[in-house]
């Protein structure tokens, strides 16, 4: 996932979350403030992790149609 976003110049988890919040306006109110090094990650970051993973997997899709699994 991080490799996918790094190709776009987005490197940290917060940068990824911020980019998602810019793209999907519904997420803007959920975006936690950047955390200090000694602070725990906010629970809402898992929402951004899940969305980022889905986007990265979808963006790395196989260009060839896959064979049906029978």
**pLDDT per residue over 22-58, tens digit each?**
999 999 999 999 889 899 999 999 999 999 999 999 8
Q: How far apart (Å, rounded) are the C-alpha atoms in residues 37 and 66?
A: 44
Residues 6+ apart with CB under 8 A from 41: 13, 35
Q: What is the pLDDT confidence band of residue 3, given thresholds at 50, 70 and 90?
A: confident
For residue 63, pLDDT beyond 60: no
């Amino acid at each position: 996932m991080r490799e996918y976003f790094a190709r776009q110049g987005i490197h940290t988890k917060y940068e990824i979350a911020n980019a998602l919040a810019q793209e999907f306006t519904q997420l803007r109110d959920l975006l936690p403030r950047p955390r200090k090094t000694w602070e725990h990650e906010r629970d809402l970051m898992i929402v951004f992790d899940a969305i980022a993973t889905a986007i990265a997997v979808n963006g790395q899709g196989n260009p060839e149609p896959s064979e049906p699994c029978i």
